[in-house]
Amino acid sequence: MALRTSATLRREPAAPWRWAAVGALLGALLATAVWAPARWLADGLHSATGGQLQLRDARGTVWNGSAAVVLASGAGGEDRVALPGRMQWQLRPAWLGVRGQLELACCTQGPLGFSAGPAGAGGLRLAWDDGRSRWPAAMLTGLGAPWNTLKLDGLLDLQTRGFVLRWSQGQLAMEGRAVLDAAGLSSSLSTLRPMGSYRLVLDGGPSPSLLLTTTDGALRLSGSGRWTGRAMRFGGEASAAPGSEDALANLLNIMGRREGARSIINLG
């Protein structure tokens, strides 16, 4: 008789309150995911970047929100640069990842699209749509040395084509191309304004390469580099056009090792 009672109990359907509890829990989880506040995203970025990338006064949700963007570096993040206006973003779930758009009135001609998701075991893939944006060179100060010493002014015109970043096992791989045109640059270390305009071309692939050339100006820069997966190894040189040596002497002394009229630059 006891065995029959036990079998009967096992066959009985779950009490209605149990299904109600499960439904309420699933509903709460779904509501949390949909209406997660934007500050959660801001806190996550702050933690992941050590406070170097900050979203201030975040409003809205993780999926649709806006915030002021601040770059901060140095001990305690004292070198802070805020981009003009506010950044707006949209995120949507996609297959094994998210699809998103970023827009800043100060710097983008339209929304910058991207997709992000896992890549391999524990890796991450970030793919940018082909696009163009223009940024103030002063934002580089927020990246720390050597930019917080140079304190550059000017415009940075960035174009991407098939540009993809992959992080896996502590290494960063790149695909596609990114071209940065730095126009009318000047520095607090020189009285010459502007010093010149320059182009940086980053080509991804098995051995990503970087090429620096001067397009105009008295400060002449050139060089090339290779990305090793963990660091950029770059070699180049800087020099002054005839008649500009005195105005650029202090800057050339800081940029690299002096060899006569040239400053030799080695990074990585």
Task: Give average pLDDT by consecutive 10-residue segment, the chain, 268 residues.
Answer: 47 51 44 69 86 92 93 68 93 89 91 90 90 93 84 95 92 95 94 95 95 97 94 94 93 91 91
Nearest Cα to Cα of residue 147 among 107, 184, 187, 180:
187
Identify the domain containing residue 64 by its residue range: 37-113
Considering the domain architecture, whether residues 129 and 258 belong to the same structural domain is answered as yes
Beta partners for 70?
54, 82
Our count of domains for the chain comes to 2
Q: Are strands 53-60 and 64-73 parallel, antiparallel or unpaired?
A: antiparallel
Considering the domain architecture, whether residues 43 and 99 belong to the same structural domain is answered as yes
Considering the domain architecture, whether residues 143 and 98 belong to the same structural domain is answered as no
Say if CB 125 and CB 164 are below 8 A apart.
yes
The span from the CA of 155 to the CA of 204, in Å, is: 24
Considering the domain architecture, whether residues 157 and 202 belong to the same structural domain is answered as yes
What pLDDT is stored for residue 50 in this prediction? 83
71 is a domain residue: yes
The span from the CA of 3 to the CA of 21, in Å, is: 30
What pLDDT is stored for residue 20 in this prediction? 45
Distinct helix (H) and strand (E) counts, the chain = 5, 16
Considering the domain architecture, whether residues 106 and 41 belong to the same structural domain is answered as yes
Considering the domain architecture, whether residues 211 and 84 belong to the same structural domain is answered as no
Considering the domain architecture, whether residues 93 and 143 belong to the same structural domain is answered as no
What pLDDT is stored for residue 14 in this prediction? 52
The span from the CA of 128 to the CA of 112, in Å, is: 8
Considering the domain architecture, whether residues 80 and 169 belong to the same structural domain is answered as no
Considering the domain architecture, whether residues 165 and 198 belong to the same structural domain is answered as yes
Considering the domain architecture, whether residues 84 and 189 belong to the same structural domain is answered as no
Considering the domain architecture, whether residues 183 and 55 belong to the same structural domain is answered as no
Among 113, 129, 157, identify where a domain stops.
113
Considering the domain architecture, whether residues 105 and 127 belong to the same structural domain is answered as no
Q: How many CB atoms lie within 10 A of CB 10?
A: 7
**Would you call 229 helix, strand, or coil by DSSP?**
coil
What pLDDT is stored for residue 15 in this prediction? 54
Residue 138 to residues 143, 247, 259, Cα–Cα distance (Å)? 10, 21, 29
What pLDDT is stored for residue 16 in this prediction? 55
Among 81, 113, 145, identify where a domain stops.
113
Q: For 106, phi and psi rounded to 5 degrees?
A: -75, -30
